[in-house]
Amino acid sequence: MDVFLVIRRKKTTIFTDCKDSATVLELKKIVEGITKIPPADQRLYTTNSAIMEDSKTLQDYGFNATTSKAQNPTSIGLTFKLSSGEFEDLELCPYSTPPELPDVMKSQDANGQEQAS
Amino acid sequence: MGPNAEYIKLIAADEKEFFVKKADAVEVSKTIRRILDGPSQCKEGEINQIELSNITSPTLKIVCDFLAYRAQVNKLEEGEDARDFPIRPEDAVDVLKAANFLDC
């Protein structure tokens, strides 16, 4: 089954999907294709900041089609190895906050949900 | 460093970078398709990167989620149930503006 993921590092977000039987190493190869950083210099972290091992599959970490839907993908952290040999700290720049709602919108119920199609 | 042809980079107003599969973006958003695959060679088509300085990063995140969701729905078999895509009312205005611009 397809598992949808969001891989995040500082200012970068990568939306991707793969099979839940895929290994962590395959995921690092996808990241390599985008960032040109070899898997050996990458480190992936789960939502609990646990480091993911190359030999394990995504299923082993609890990612499956029910938890990782396209509308709500699971976040995975990413850091690179620095030239000193140390890995960066896991640091995710949060998205900016939306602006304050104008007063005319505040009193309405949540009935008017628009869907982009 | 441009990403390879499989993924494209979308850059939000606050310079946050979002990588999505080129196939998903081109299939769902007509605007992105015109920019990248149009008859004239846009610079964006060469570097596989589009700057969207009118869309903020939280909105662009919802847009990217939607691109993945819509591409998945398109692949579903007939009669299979497509779960709804949730959007909060506070995000609705920005998401509508982005959807109108990206034509999807």
Q: What is the pLDDT along chain A (117 residues), one digit of tens a residue?
A: 778 888 888 878 888 888 888 888 888 888 888 888 888 888 888 877 788 888 888 888 877 777 666 667 788 888 888 777 666 666 666 666 666 666 666 655 444 444 444
Residue B12: what pLDDT? Answer: 87
- Are the CB atoms for A4 and B68 separated by under 8 Å? yes
Residue A95: what pLDDT? Answer: 65
> Which is more confidently placed, A90 or B65?
B65
Mutate to test the interface with A, among B1, B7, B22, B55 (most CBs of A within 10 A): B7
Strands A2-9 and A74-80: parallel
Tell if the pTM clears 0.90, that is, is over it: no
Mutate to test the interface with A, among B6, B9, B10, B65 (most CBs of A within 10 A): B65
Residue A104: what pLDDT? Answer: 67
Pure H helices in chain A: 24-35, 103-106
Please state the rounded mean pLDDT for residues B2-22.
Answer: 78
- Are the CB atoms for A56 and A20 separated by under 8 Å? no
Looking at CA atoms only, how far is residue A9 from chain B in angstroms?
A: 10
* ipTM of this complex prediction, to 2 decimal places: 0.71
